[in-house]
Each structure stands twice: as C-alpha cells, then as structure tokens.
C-alpha cells in the first residue's frame, strides 16, 4: 500500500513537472518568437528604410548635383552627363520602389505619396537636363542655384522620412521593452508556481531559470547592439543639423580619393569657437547650444555647393572640406567665415579678444596626388588651428605645404 502511495506521489510529481516544463517550454517559445518578431521589426523595419533613403539623398547630392555642376563647367562630356543622370535616376527609382514595399501604416501613406510626387518631379527636372543635351542646348547656361534649390528641397522631404523612421524605431523599441517585461513577469509567475509545487527538484528548476536568464541577457545585449546601429544610422548632428563625425569619416576618404584621381586642389579647414568654455560658464549650456546653431547657420549660408561639406566634429569644433579651390580663395573663404561669425553679434563677455563670439581656423590646402597622405591633411589643419590660436585667435592660419616633416606655413592671417 505504501509503495502504491509512493508511486502515486511520484506519478503526481512527474505530472506536475511535465506540465510545468511544457508550460515553460510553450511560454519560452512564444517569448522567443515575440522577441524575434520585434527584433526583425525594429532592425529591418527601420534600419533598411533609413539606408535606402540615405542612398537616395546621397545620389541626389553626390551624383546628380556634382554631375550638373561639372557639366556647367564643361568638366565632363555631354554623353557622360547623360549616362550619369540616367543611371542616377534609375538608382533613385529603384531605391524608392524598394522603400515603398516596406510595411506602411494608413496614416503614413499621405506623406509617402507626397514624397513620391516630389521625387518624381525632381527626377523629371533632371531628366529635362538630358533632353536639353540631346536637343543641343549649352549646359553652360544651366542655373546651379536652381539645381541646388531642387536638391535642397528633396533633401528636406526625404530627411523628414528618415527622421520619422528613426522615431518609429525608438517607439517600437519602447513597446518591445514593455512587452518583454510583461512576458518575463508571466514566465516568472509560472516558474514560481512550478517551483512551489515541486520543491524536491528546486535545484534543477533553479538551474533552468538561470539558463533562461542567461538567454534573456544575450537577447537584451543583441537588442542594445541593434538599437546602437539605428542610432548611428543618421549622418546628421541633431543639434546643428550639420553632418556629423560619422559622415565625415565616410566623405573624407571619398573626396580625397576623388581629388587624387582628378589631380585637383582640396582644402580642409578645422574651426574652433574661441573661449567657448567661458561662454558656457557665463551664459549657460542652453545659450551655448544656441550659439552653436548660429555658427552652424553661418556655415550653411556660406557653403552651398554640392561639393562643399561642413561637419560638426565634436563640441565646439567644426570641419569644412571642399575641392576645386586654390590657396588664395581658401584664405578668402576663411576670412569670410571669421567676419561672418563675428558679424552675428553674439555677445561674449568671457572672451579675451572681442566682445562678440569669434572663431579660429586652421586651413590646409594642396593639389592632391598619389603621394598625399590622407591623415596629414587633417594633421596640418589641426596644426594651423593651433597656430591661429597662438596668433591671437579670431583669425586663421593656412599652409599649402602638406608634409609630414616640414612645418613651413605658406600664409597666416588674423583679425
């Protein structure tokens, strides 16, 4: 009789363990599938569209804008112009078609249709340039301001989509974390009930929980990595709306290689706001952010060519990269920047050199060839920035001798 009772108890415990393990297994499977679904939605639903939209913007900026600029200046043949424009438009249409295939909510369709209309209009505009060439028109009569306005407008339209896609990713991540916590609580509750009913095997249940917890931590780390990729997907600095350091790393290598191929001049400027720490100490970080935006606006107003790139490299440090400009004109541009920033009339009581906010600029300019060391151009600009500060700030120092060993300064100027 006791044996039968013992067997009955063991059978009862076995049934409880089996049911408990089945429930845990089902919940674990649901949890894993839910996590996978959310990860797929978060990663592929936002990162891929952002990449496609960025490719569209890059094609407008790098290919179409640059091609028409070169066409106006007779730097490339009409046949090459037509080929580049047709290829670029095909690439844009392909990326946009791929973007439209992604899941879209009903309330998103209105702006998607608007963006599609604007892209179609922009492509028609650039296609008209091909028709003009085929009709024998002189591309020297092309209005670059019209091209820049068209690209700027389409940049705003597409950039709103990029911003929206990133915001959606953040929203989806927030919902995922809430769902994750709820699922974790349910799984924990079931495990507690199982452990309570089968205290004899608590040690094994504890090991199972530990194993599940480790798996959850691994998935949480993967989620953080996916979220980090999404945060880095944008190439724009959120405060100043200039290009950020990540985009600088991408553009710098590309422009250096292009300048080497064309054996053309290239200029890199490194700029720093004078006594900006004292400005923050005097007026506070909110006013400091406003000052950074004001300085960024000066750059946007001065640099409007498709081949001009302005970056916020970090803090109060900025970088400007442009090509096809010689030493003399680079110096003029540097002087204009200094005057324009000072002309903003931003009060700076903490400055030791002027009552208004000013900048110091280091300029490195050269004609690129295969012997040019990519890093030396940056190093020389940084060295010139240091010399500009030593010379009293609110000015610039410029060199054309891009050499690792020779510190010769070709020209220096200050206010």
Backbone phi, psi, residue 376, to 5°: -65, -35
Q: Burial level of 105, CB count in 10 A (0-12/13-18/19+)?
A: exposed
* Cβ contacts of 115 within 8 Å, gap of 6 or more: 157, 158, 160, 161
DSSP assignment of 147-161? HHHHHHHHHHHHHHH
- The Cα 380–Cα 404 span in angstroms is 8
Q: Is 316 a catalytic residue?
A: yes
Alpha helices by DSSP H, listed for 198-266, are 202-231, 245-262
| CA gap 366, 373 in Å, rounded | 11
Query: Which of 316, 370, 375, 383 is flagged as catalytic?
Result: 316
406 SS3 class: coil
10 Å Cβ neighbour count for 260?
Answer: 17
Could you give the angle at the alpha carbon of 337 between the alpha carbons of 335 and 342, nearest 5°? 100
Contacts of 268 (CB under 8 A, 6+ apart): 252, 319, 320, 321, 363, 364, 365, 377, 378, 381
Report the catalytic residues. Answer: 316
């Amino acid at each position: 009789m006791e044996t039968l009772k013992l067997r009955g108890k063991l059978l009862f415990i076995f049934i409880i363990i089996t049911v408990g393990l089945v429930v845990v297994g089902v919940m674990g499977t649901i949890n894993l599938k839910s996590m996978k679904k959310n990860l797929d939605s978060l990663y592929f639903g936002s990162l891929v569209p952002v990449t496609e939209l960025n490719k569209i913007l890059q094609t407008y900026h790098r290919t179409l804008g640059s091609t028409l600029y070169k066409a106006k200046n007779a730097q490339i043949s009409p046949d090459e112009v037509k080929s580049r424009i047709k290829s670029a438009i095909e690439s844009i249409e392909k990326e946009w078609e791929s973007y439209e295939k992604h899941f879209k909510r009903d309330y998103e369709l209105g702006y998607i249709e608007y963006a599609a209309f604007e892209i179609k209009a922009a492509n028609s505009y650039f296609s008209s340039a091909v028709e003009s060439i085929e009709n024998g028109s002189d591309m020297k009569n092309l209005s670059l301001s019209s091209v820049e306005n068209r690209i700027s407008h389409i940049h705003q339209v597409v950039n709103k989509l990029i911003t929206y896609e990133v915001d959606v990713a953040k929203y989806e991540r927030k919902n995922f974390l809430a769902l994750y916590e709820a699922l974790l609580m349910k799984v924990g509750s079931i495990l507690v009930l199982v452990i309570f009913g089968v205290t004899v095997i608590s040690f094994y249940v504890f090991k199972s929980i530990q194993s599940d917890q480790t798996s959850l931590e691994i998935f949480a780390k993967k989620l953080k990595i996916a979220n980090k990729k999404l945060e880095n997907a944008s190439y724009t600095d959120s405060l100043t709306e200039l290009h950020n350091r990540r985009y600088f790393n991408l553009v710098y290598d590309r422009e250096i290689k292009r300048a080497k191929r064309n054996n053309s001049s290239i200029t890199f400027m490194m700029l720093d706001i004078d006594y900006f720490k004292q400005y923050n100490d005097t007026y506070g970080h909110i006013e400091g952010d406003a000052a950074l935006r004001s300085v960024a606006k000066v750059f946007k107003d001065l640099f409007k060519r498709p081949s001009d790139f302005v970056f916020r490299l970090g803090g109060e440090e900025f970088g400007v990269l442009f090509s096809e400009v010689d030493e003399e004109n680079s110096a003029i541009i540097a002087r204009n920047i200094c005057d324009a920033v000072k002309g903003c009339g931003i009060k700076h009581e903490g400055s030791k050199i002027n009552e208004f906010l000013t900048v110091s600029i280091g300029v490195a300019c050269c004609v690129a060839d295969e012997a040019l060391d990519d890093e030396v151009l940056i190093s020389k600009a940084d060295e010139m920035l240091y010399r500009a500060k030593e010379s009293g700030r609110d000015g610039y120092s410029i060199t054309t001798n891009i050499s690792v060993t020779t510190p010769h300064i070709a020209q220096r100027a200050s206010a």
